[in-house]
Amino acid sequence: MSEPEVDLDAEKYEKHREAGQILAQVRDEAADRLEVGMGYLEISEWAEDRIRELGGTPAFPVNVSVDEEAAHGAAGPGDERTVGEEMVKLDIGVHIDGWLADTAVTVDFSGTPELVEAAEEALDAALETVEPGVETGTIGAAIEEVIDGYGYNPVVNLTGHGLGHWEQHVPPNIPNRAVQQGTTLEVGDVVAIEPFATDGSGKVSEGQQEEIYSLEREASVRDRNARKALEQITEEFQTLPFATRWLDVSRPNMALRRLKSQNIVHGYPVLKEDDGKLVSQKEHTIIVTEDGCEVTTASE
């Protein structure tokens, strides 16, 4: 039997597109707004509020990852850190009724424009390879070739990913290097492709900082404050990542420690290259179409 045709005008795809349009606008405005001396909390709350203003909901906390940090840097409650002459990655997500878009841009104050260009061109090359039937390893090879050509390394233990309903990371993974065994993309797949380029080794490891969490499982909790936090998590965020600072409870860090100790939530530590190295990132969300792909997070 042949596969049924995918209706790319279905409601879920329209919601993916709406999320992408809002996100593209917020990403571009946030990148224009960002400057040296601006607080992590200020740019994060501005972007999250702007998403809501435009009719979307943040799909995860704004990631502000600098220099050797590749991902999961985020502002904590009352965070006083400010952006310096650094390489800043803004990774932002939007959902409409749980249908997602995910994008990232690098704003460089470090004076290393070629590293930013490497990630941007790698994403362009990746998008050109996308069509029904393409292997994800072929996309990874296109990314790796561009970044290698700049004399840098792709970050090989971070990947792009599929976007599900209320799920930020689902199969298939989109590697940032050539791999032998990949997955074949099909019409209707919604994926985020996100090359990372670095002047480091090309492998990230977990740092100490952890400000982003998501629900692992539901369970009964004795502590009243932790129970209140869990109610908010299950109702408001479901399985999507959330920030400590989003919790409307007293002592949110304590509540999260209790939930984490019972394996009810898990954290996302900052992922970083070696100290003194730099990482750039560029990410778009796409829908695979009959003749290529539609970039839902493209600028207007």
From the candidates 42, 165, 169, 223, which is the catalytic residue?
A: 169
Residue 161 a catalytic site member: yes
CB-based burial, 62-86: b 16+ in 10 Å, e otherwise: bbbbbbbbbbbbbbbeebeeebeeb
Contacts of 75 (CB under 8 A, 6+ apart): 39, 40, 41, 44, 45, 61, 62, 64, 81, 211, 243, 245
From the candidates 144, 199, 283, 284, which is the catalytic residue?
A: 283
Find the angle CA(198)-CA(204)-CA(209) to the nearest 5 degrees. 115
Residue 223 a catalytic site member: no
From the candidates 102, 108, 121, 144, which is the catalytic residue?
A: 102
DSSP tag of 275: T
Residue 194 a catalytic site member: yes
From the candidates 161, 189, 199, 211, which is the catalytic residue?
A: 161
From the candidates 120, 194, 199, 210, which is the catalytic residue?
A: 194
Q: Are 235 and 219 in contact (CB under 8 A)?
A: no
Residue 102 a catalytic site member: yes
From the candidates 86, 91, 108, 273, which is the catalytic residue?
A: 91
Q: List residues with catalytic annotation.
A: 91, 102, 161, 169, 194, 283
